């Protein structure tokens, strides 16, 4: 199904992950193979959080998909490159972390073009995926993402790891609340649009999340291995 023809209005993330959206647009919701869970991180790269996360994923033998910000990629090119060099998948989150519905069509297109160009140049990887900030897109962005051959994808569960009060346990419980085989987990390796250092809670939650997935017989990996329907 062509998402551009369906999503002619801005769509809030809560609607996008609702039961109807899951049925109509399983790929957009991030629903994949029932024995696989896609692990995704938004808002990076970050000077402290990303290297710690890369270490953790390396020790766990897990690869993930990182939705990068263009501005942060330009500020921290060596960190962005380290993500790609470690074999993780690269996606586009946007140049700046701003709500697209507050922008006009030209500014929306420019943000996505600039982000994609910066991320491609720095990482040496042509991104295949796009996730708009806050999970909210508009028609201009959806059309531009198609032109750039970026596939939009949201998530099915998240850690709520952006709040000042989140803890490893709260992030773990939030992810597990809606974690099923075929789901896509959203976490953040940054605090650029969140409470300072909230990524520490994410780092504490990730090992038990991976352990639980393994105990349930679910493989964890990037979106490229999620087997999503077109
Ligand atoms: Zn974000």
132-167 CB burial, b ≥16 within 10 A, e <16: bbbbbbbebbbebbeebebbbbbbbbbbbbbeeebe
Domain span including residue 119: 24-225
Is the pLDDT at 172 greater than 70? The verdict is yes
Q: Which of 177, 185, 175 minimizes the C-alpha distance to 131?
A: 185
Is residue 180 in some structural domain? yes
- The pLDDT score that the predictor gives to residue 45 is 98
- The pLDDT score that the predictor gives to residue 22 is 60
Per residue in 56-107, pLDDT tens? 999 999 999 999 999 999 999 999 999 999 999 999 999 999 988 888 899 9
Is the pLDDT at 7 greater than 50? The verdict is no
Is residue 77 in some structural domain? yes
Question: Are 76 and 45 spatial neighbours (Cβ–Cβ below 8 Å)?
Answer: yes
Mean pLDDT, rounded, of the chain: 90
Q: 18 pLDDT band (50/70/90 cuts)?
A: low
CA of 215 to the centre of ligand 1 (A): 29
CA of 5 to the centre of ligand 1 (A): 25
Is residue 136 in some structural domain? yes
Alpha helices, H only, 77-159 = 77-85, 105-123, 139-147
Residue tagged active-site, from 46, 188, 189, 226: 188
Q: 28 pLDDT band (50/70/90 cuts)?
A: confident
Please confirm, yes or no, whether 188 is among the known catalytic residues: yes
State the Cα–Cα distance between residues 29 and 16, nearest whole angstrom: 6
CA of 97 to the centre of ligand 1 (A): 6
Q: 1 pLDDT band (50/70/90 cuts)?
A: very low
CA of 158 to the centre of ligand 1 (A): 12
Q: 29 pLDDT band (50/70/90 cuts)?
A: confident
Please confirm, yes or no, whether 46 is among the known catalytic residues: no
Tokens 């349930």 locate to 216
Tokens 């922008």 locate to 103
Is the pLDDT at 19 greater than 70? The verdict is no
Is residue 19 in some structural domain? no
Is residue 178 in some structural domain? yes
Overall number of domains in the chain: 1
Is residue 17 in some structural domain? no
Note residues around ion ligand 1 (Cβ under 5 angstroms): 42-43, 133
70: left (phi over 0), alpha (psi -120 to 50) or beta: alpha
| Residue 180's CATH number | 3.20.20.370
CA of 45 to the centre of ligand 1 (A): 11
Average pLDDT over residues 35-56: 98
Helix axes 168-177, 199-215, angle to 10 degrees: 50
Q: Which of 58, 42, 18 minimizes the C-alpha distance to 194?
A: 42
Question: Are 144 and 180 spatial neighbours (Cβ–Cβ below 8 Å)?
Answer: no
Is the pLDDT at 9 greater than 50? The verdict is no
Is residue 7 in some structural domain? no
113, exposed or middle or buried, with CB in 10 Å at 0-12, 13-18, 19+?
A: middle
As given in the structure block, the two tokens for residue 61 are 């033998």
Is residue 8 in some structural domain? no
- The pLDDT score that the predictor gives to residue 229 is 72
Average pLDDT over residues 178-197: 95
């Amino acid at each position: 199904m062509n998402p551009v023809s369906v999503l002619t209005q801005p769509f809030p993330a809560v609607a996008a992950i609702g039961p109807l959206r899951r049925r109509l647009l399983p790929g957009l919701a991030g629903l994949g193979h029932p024995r696989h869970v896609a692990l995704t991180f938004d808002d990076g790269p970050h000077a402290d959080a990303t290297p710690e996360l890369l270490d953790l994923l390396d020790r766990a033998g897990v690869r993930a998909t990182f939705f990068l910000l263009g501005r942060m990629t330009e500020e921290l090119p060596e960190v962005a490159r380290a993500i790609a060099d470690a074999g993780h998948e690269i996606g586009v989150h946007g140049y700046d972390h701003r709500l697209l519905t507050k922008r006009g069509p030209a500014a929306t297109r420019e943000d996505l073009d600039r982000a994609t160009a910066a991320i491609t140049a720095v990482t040496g990887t042509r991104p295949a995926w796009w996730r708009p900030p806050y999970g909210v897109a508009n028609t201009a962005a959806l059309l531009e993402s198609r032109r750039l051959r970026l596939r939009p994808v949201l998530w099915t569960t998240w850690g709520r790891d952006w709040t000042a009060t989140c803890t490893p346990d709260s992030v773990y419980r939030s992810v597990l609340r809606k974690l099923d085989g075929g789901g896509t987990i959203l976490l953040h390796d940054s605090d650029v649009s969140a409470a300072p250092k909230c990524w520490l809670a994410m780092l504490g939650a990730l090992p038990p999340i991976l352990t639980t997935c393994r105990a349930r017989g679910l493989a964890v990996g990037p979106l490229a291995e999620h087997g999503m329907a077109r």
